[in-house]
Amino acid sequence: MPDDWNTPADLWPAGDSETPADSTVQRWVWAAMEPAERRERMRELAVWVDWLRRTHELHNQVPVCWYRHPPVVEHLTALYVGWLRTYAGDPGTGVSEADWINTLHGFVPRLQLAACAAGTHQSPPPPPPAPPADDVTTFLATSTHMTTAAVHPAAAELARRAAAADQPL
């Protein structure tokens, strides 16, 4: 990480007093970003993750190769955007700081990678192939789960309540 970035706050746009602080906080959808934007945002996220690992002593929970694991990147992205809304957004637009820290600790198990815990990156197994499109189409057309008529699980109770409401006074 560059030495001149001591904290994630160094990455925040200067903005003017007319612009709300959280106007620059946008949703991050990695697949929808152009490559140049993706690289820029990954650098930004990397600075923040480095800060997060040090500040919250997560160096044993977040592997150094976190950026090579798309599910971990997605979780860290969600944490980062939530952190921005909480700590850099307008008051009242995010969750409280304590709630964000609770959220962080709830995410920690999803950030850990047993295969990479020793500091050596292990590539994840390749994903299984997607089902053929015609298999999905056939399932949608023939599965009882997809073709059974709608029935509310509490239909009898709803009918009793409707009948009781319609009785004359």
Show the tokens assigned to 95: 């969750």
Place of tokens 């959280």: 22
39 in helix, strand or coil?
A: helix
The total number of structural domains in the chain stands at 2
pTM, rounded to two decimals:
0.63
The label of the residue with tokens 């991050």 reads 28
For residue 144, the enclosing domain spans: 133-166
CA neighbours closer than 13 Å in the CB half-sphere of residue 111: 24
My answer on whether 14 and 92 are in the same domain is yes
57-95, pLDDT tens digit by residue? Answer: 998 899 999 999 999 999 999 999 999 988 887 776 667
Same-domain pairing of 66 and 39: yes
Whether residue 40 is found in the same domain as residue 90: yes
Q: How many CA atoms lie within 13 A of 130 on its CB side?
A: 4
Q: Please check whether residue 66 is in contact with residue 72, taking contact to mean a CB–CB distance below 8 angstroms.
A: yes
Residue 7 pLDDT level (bands cut at 50, 70, 90): low
**Same domain, yes or no, for 108 and 142?**
no
On the question of pLDDT at 146 being above 90, the answer is no
pLDDT level of residue 164 (50, 70, 90 thresholds): confident
If residue 70 lies in a helix (H) or strand (E), which one and from where to where?
Answer: helix 70-87
For 57: left if phi > 0, alpha if psi spans -120 to 50, otherwise beta; the answer is left
Give the closest residue to 84 by CA, choosing from 142, 144, 167, 27. Answer: 27
